Amino acid sequence: MPDVFPATWINNRKQHWLNARFPRQRTITLDIKRIFIIPAVSSLALLSAVLILLLMAINFQSSLIYGLSFWLLALMVVVIFFTYRNLSGFTIKVLKSEPCFAGEKAVFELAVSSSGKHDNHAIQLGWKNEDSVEVNLQAGVRQQIKLSASTRQRGIYRPQRLHIVSRYPTGLVVAWSYAQLDMHSIVYPEPRLQKVRELGNAVADSSEQGAEIPRGTTDFGGVSEYQAGDSLRHIHWKTYAKTGDLHTKRFVDFATHERWLNWHELNIPGTEDKLSHLSARILQCDEQQLEYGLRIPGMEIPPASGEAHKHRCLRALALYGLEES
């Protein structure tokens, strides 16, 4: 029988301990409770060399070798202190995040500073399997950095625990910590046009009053030659009296430049495909500087234009069907 239960139990206990030790916060300062020290591979090699030197000192009763061994051990202790000191007092504060489309990288802007009176050198920040940033700080100086994380689906993206690592000054030991930052980014649906005809958006030539819809009923649009099937009520008798040829009056309707991107008019199977199509249509309308509105189940956004309106519509698509939390 596979040993599944112990592994799951251990992982759950580990996550519970990490969540308690590193709660979500907007501002985090590293201290003795958050910093961990582990030896590097090079320090293990050094300790092996010290052990050999101690055996030689015992065997040959050499005070010089004794002194070298204890000096190397003292060096290790000093290195541990300075590596911890380099990370202690390091402060991270969340500033803002930038929305993105599914499949792109969400960008988060952070402010880093040092609450201590010493400089911070060669501190690496990043998420697992993502790009990292190396920070060098002077005491009392605040610095802004940007970190990115890959996204895969629409909605609210909350990054994992941030890894913070420092090997300064010698690389013999590694000081590391986690930062569970209270931040998120809105991930819009991937813009992907589908092959579909949207009802109610087919328009003909444009005019000053809007898009001209032929064979209308309201506005007089001119006179044209009579064709079989034309209504006798629309015959232009004045022209007939002058020329003797039959002509009919033409009427048109005018639609405004406003467009409605309507969920219910899309003959597309699948929720995500509909959201992707609407996302692409929003970008198209915004690029053409058109006024457009959005209708999705449970929400209607009136027609408007501009950057704020675009992000409002894309946000509605990103959060469609998801809980507000």
- What is the pLDDT, as a whole number, of residue 252? 55
- What is the pLDDT, as a whole number, of residue 7? 74
- What is the pLDDT, as a whole number, of residue 203? 39
- What is the pLDDT, as a whole number, of residue 232? 64
Q: Which of 165, 167, 111 is nearest to 141 (CA)?
A: 111
> Which single residue is written with the structure tokens 């993502």?
130
Q: Which residues of 39-51 are buried (b: 16+ CB within 10 A; e: fewer)?
A: bbeebeebeeebe
- What is the pLDDT, as a whole number, of residue 240? 64
Give phi and psi for 207, each to the nearest 5. Answer: -140, -175
| Bridging pattern class, strands 120-126 and 185-188 | unpaired
Contact between 158 and 113 under an 8 Å Cβ cutoff? The reply is no
Distances (CA, A) of 315 to 55, 74, 99: 69, 58, 9
Contact between 50 and 69 under an 8 Å Cβ cutoff? The reply is yes
Give phi and psi for 275, each to the nearest 5. Answer: -65, -40
Angle at 19 between CA 9 and CA 95, to 5 degrees: 150
- What is the pLDDT, as a whole number, of residue 175? 94
Biggest CA-to-CA distance, the chain:
134
**Beta partners for residue 259, in sequence order:** 292
Contact between 174 and 41 under an 8 Å Cβ cutoff? The reply is no
- What is the pLDDT, as a whole number, of residue 206? 40
| Bridging pattern class, strands 219-225 and 210-213 | unpaired
- What is the pLDDT, as a whole number, of residue 256? 52
Q: Hey, how many other C-beta atoms are within 10 angstroms of the C-beta on 107?
A: 15
Contact between 36 and 88 under an 8 Å Cβ cutoff? The reply is no
DSSP 81: H
Name the amino acid, one letter, at 133: V
Instruction: Give the whole-angstrom CA distance, residue 212 versus residue 254.
Output: 5
Distances (CA, A) of 134 to 109, 126, 231: 15, 9, 79
Residues of the chain predicted below pLDDT 50 = 1-2, 199-214, 216, 218, 254, 325
- What percentage of the chain has pLDDT greater than the value 70? 80
